[in-house]
Amino acid sequence: MADTGIEMKADKVYESVSNYYGKVLTSSKDLKTSACTTSMRPSEEVIEALTRVPNTIKDRFYGCGTPLPQGISGLDLLDLGSGSGRDCYVAAAMVGPNGSVTGVDMTDEQLEVASKFVPEYMDTLGYKAPNLTFKKGYIEFLKDAGVEPESVDMVISNCVINLSPNKELVMKGVYEALREGGELYFSDVYCDRRLSEEARNHDVMLGECLGGALYIEDFRRICQRVGFLDPRQLSIEPIEVNDPELKLLCGNANFYSITYRCFKLSNMETLCEDYGQVAYYKGTLPNNPNSYMLDDHHVFETGKPMLVCGNTASMVCETWMKDHFEVVGDRSVHFGLFDCAPPIASSSGDEAAASGGGGGCC
């Protein structure tokens, strides 16, 4: 890196984060906030897969969600900031022997832990060839880490993008790495306002995933600039700040763990438009025979027609979910803006426990 002011600041962030996760934290018990821990129950498929993950991997896991959708067999998956590799190990079981999982991380100590158990784990899964690899690199520069453009179907990340000194560069790289119809499915920490410079640069605030927390609306603006025109919120959970010093530093700022879904679709629009399309869920995704939650205001009941906007129709019929949905209609006739108002009473679907506050499609 050239020795400019911006790049020197980035180097300081990298050093602070790498030191915090590589040397300061020895397990999740050392954390001072709830930002890098999870309280929501993951899916049964994830729970089952976790029973086979080595304890050392699980003990050094720091994350704010479970960014792993069900039904991803055969996909090529990339994990940003894979850390000890817990989510990668789980994903390796979920994508199966015909899929692949790659973890990228910048911290030597975490990479050493993550790589150590791969051969043993492949034997546990009964795979003839390994489908799990780890690479050293920065999530802002995926190509330098060996991730080629349009090479993956899904990108996941668990409470990591907020640690980056250049989040827009991360999102741009993710968009480029995804194939058409690919998805960024990730959990991260967000704030209801822009933080002070003091809070953003505090070492513990950075390490605990709070200092780098984006203002929610700034995140949406970044998404739209790089090509993710319609980011969808799947779940939201408040974060507790327990340390008195950090509480004082944060002031009245509120932090949240949010899981978002962002799709790379060339026909995506910035607003939800009405083309009179109807979508049907077939009930075929694993552990979701009765309904499927696309986001916090789209719960599809099996076999029941749902009027959807053009963006939602593309999300379910032009991505990895296409075999599980049927969409009737196309975009040949336009009826104006789609009514994005959330339903008065939400359905209790198989994944409804993940539901947070509702908003419109857009």
Residues 6 or more apart in contact with residue 253 via CB below 8 angstroms: 191, 192, 193, 195, 199
CB crowding 53-66: b at 16 or more within 10 Å, else e: bbeebbebbbbbbb
pLDDT tens column, 217-235: 999 999 999 999 999 999 9
Residue type, 246: L
Q: What pLDDT sits at residue 64?
A: 66
pLDDT tens column, 90-116: 999 999 999 999 999 999 999 999 999
Check residue 141 and report its DSSP letter. -
Question: Is pLDDT at 27 greater than 90 in this prediction?
Answer: no
Question: Is pLDDT at 8 greater than 50 in this prediction?
Answer: no
Q: How far apart are CA 158 and CA 178, in angstroms?
A: 18
Task: For residue 200, count other CB atoms closer than 10 A to its CB.
Answer: 16
Q: What pLDDT sits at residue 60?
A: 85
Per-residue confidence band for 25, with pLDDT thresholds at 50, 70 and 90: very low
Rg (CA), the chain: 20
163 and 224 Cβ atoms separated by less than 8 Å: no
pLDDT tens column, 276-327: 999 999 999 999 999 999 999 999 999 999 999 999 999 999 999 999 999 9
Q: What pLDDT sits at residue 360?
A: 42
**pTM, two decimal places:** 0.86
DSSP 144-184: GGT--TT-EEEEEEES-GGG-S-HHHHHHHHHHHEEEEEEE
Q: What pLDDT sits at residue 192?
A: 97
Q: What pLDDT sits at residue 74?
A: 98
pLDDT tens column, 166-185: 999 999 999 999 999 999 99
Half-sphere exposure of 90 (CA within 13 A, CB side): 27
> Which is higher by pLDDT, 346 or 117?
117
Question: Is pLDDT at 4 greater than 70 in this prediction?
Answer: no
pLDDT tens column, 241-252: 988 999 999 999
159 and 189 Cβ atoms separated by less than 8 Å: yes
> Which is higher by pLDDT, 341 or 214?
214
